[in-house]
Amino acid sequence: MEYSLVCHSLYVVLLSPVKNKLLILCIMFLLWVYMLYCCVGYSSTMPSFMMDSDQGKDGGFVSENKDAPGKDLVSKLLLRPKSPPALDPDYNSPSVRTASRELLNNDLEAEKSDVWDEIGGERSSLEPCGLSSFSNGSESKKLPQAIIIGVKKGGTRALLEFLRVHPDIRAVGAEPHFFDRNYNNGLDWYRDLMPKTLEGQITMEKTPSYFVTREAPARIYAMSRDTKLIVVVRDPVTRAISDYTQTLSKKPDIPTFESLTFKNRSTGLIDTSWSAIQIGLYAKHLDSWLRFFPLGQMLFVSGERLIRDPAGEMARVQDFLGLKRIVTDKHFYFNHTKGFPCLKKAEGSSKPHCLGKTKGRTHPNINPDVVRRLRDFYRPFNMKFYQMTGQDFGWE
């Protein structure tokens, strides 16, 4: 009885055209709500890829959902770079930024924008790319076997660009700053920045601040005691002026070179706490390196000779690295507009290539008396440096 009643009412409902339409609308609405629910629910349960402070073994990429199916492939294809290179925390701290001396000693932003100028729009290799982690046959990423560790404004970019012409050298374009600012990211992060190399090719990088970083010798030694170290040195007085010129180009309202040089102008006391002065005390910095590395594992390149005779200096560098002398005078020409030697063909290109506009800047005129006092100040340190290296760099 009850059953026939239900059937009857269903029959009436289904037969009525208005109610029929209403029923279809209801079903469509329910279907739409169901689909919406599914979508929201699905996305919230999808593996989400997050930045993590932990150093993952997968080259600095960490997935939140570690058990996600196909994790390895997905993580390589989809993960965002784990972390951008950490800027010096001191620089980011507003309290420290108020101190003008600190500001002058921490021109990280200036360096960063220089890197882009230098590598001429090349992808900054500071952020590892997940896709690039895939190995192609016998090519793989390796930790550097040779590093240009200094000095800032010595001519380090020119040397690296010249070396990159050699088929047995592969180098990262930007400065990784691993052994000073990014050491906590771990060696896997560092390796992942490197270009892939074939067996027999040398992986290189340059970060000029390593030479004056207290912890760098021990850290590089811990990575590999066989690492070859190259230091491009330049007359510490012109180096200091070059350093000042770079800072001035970013912050035009800084004090004069003269006022920063002296602690006390009348006594002539030099302010060695200013990094532009401090970096030029080569003998002092070299001492820390010689505690870990034998002198024979270090090569000192003359920044001046690298401009005067790039092929001659390149012959020394190639010998030191155990490479065939492939980069020779045939690779260089003197560009009169630039006022510097340039490459006839840059790496991977058939066009002539000079360094960017941040290399070879015009220096401001410095009072000759200040220059003379600085020369007097550096002389004993230079003599000591010549003695330690067994090379006379000919700085006055």
Ligand X SMILES: Nc1ncnc2c1ncn2[C@@H]1O[C@H](COP(=O)(O)OS(=O)(=O)O)[C@@H](OP(=O)(O)O)[C@H]1O
- Give me the residues that bind ligand X (CB under 6 A), please: 114, 152-158, 208, 242, 245, 306-307, 340-341, 355, 359-361
CB of 92 to ligand X, least distance (A): 21
Q: Tell me which residue of 156, 157, 207 sits closest to 177, measured CA to CA.
A: 207
Question: Does the annotation flag 242 for ligand binding?
Answer: yes
Judged by beta carbon, residue 62 or residue 151, the one nearer ligand X is 151
Catalytic, out of 82, 152, 153, 196 = 153
Q: 5-19 burial by CB neighbour count: b if 16+ within 10 A, else e? A: eeeeeeeeeeeeeee
Q: How far apart are CA 258 and CA 265, in angstroms?
A: 8
CB of 248 to ligand X, least distance (A): 11
Question: Does the annotation flag 157 for ligand binding?
Answer: yes
How many other C-beta atoms can be found within 10 angstroms of the C-beta atom of residue 378? 24
Judged by beta carbon, residue 92 or residue 113, the one nearer ligand X is 113
Judged by beta carbon, residue 126 or residue 158, the one nearer ligand X is 158
Strand pairing report for 340-343 and 262-264 = unpaired
Strand pairing report for 202-206 and 169-171 = parallel
- The continuous run of DSSP H or E covering 197 comes out as strand 196-197
Question: Does the annotation flag 225 for ligand binding?
Answer: no
Question: Does the annotation flag 285 for ligand binding?
Answer: no
Residue 137 exposed, middle or buried by CB count within 10 Å (0-12, 13-18, 19+): exposed
Question: Does the annotation flag 132 for ligand binding?
Answer: no
Question: Does the annotation flag 358 for ligand binding?
Answer: no
Judged by beta carbon, residue 164 or residue 359, the one nearer ligand X is 359
- Please spell the DSSP secondary structure of 120-174, one letter per residue: TTPPPTTS--GGGGS--TT-EE---SEEEEE-TTSSHHHHHHHHTTSTTEEE-SS
Q: Are the beta carbons of 323 and 166 closer than 8 angstroms?
A: yes
Judged by beta carbon, residue 62 or residue 281, the one nearer ligand X is 281
CB of 268 to ligand X, least distance (A): 25
CB of 264 to ligand X, least distance (A): 27
CB of 383 to ligand X, least distance (A): 24
How many other C-beta atoms can be found within 10 angstroms of the C-beta atom of residue 275? 20
Q: Tell me which residue of 174, 192, 205, 223 sits closest to 56, measured CA to CA.
A: 192
Tell me the three state secondary structure of residue 391: coil
Q: How far apart are CA 290 and CA 305, in angstroms?
A: 24
Judged by beta carbon, residue 133 or residue 238, the one nearer ligand X is 238
Question: Does the annotation flag 361 for ligand binding?
Answer: yes
- Is 153 annotated in the active site? yes
Q: How far apart are CA 27 and CA 234, in angstroms?
A: 81
Active-site annotation, residues: 153
Q: Which residues are annotated as a binding site?
A: 153-157, 234, 242, 359-363
Q: Which residues are annotated as a binding site for 3'-phosphoadenylyl sulfate?
A: 153-157, 234, 242, 359-363
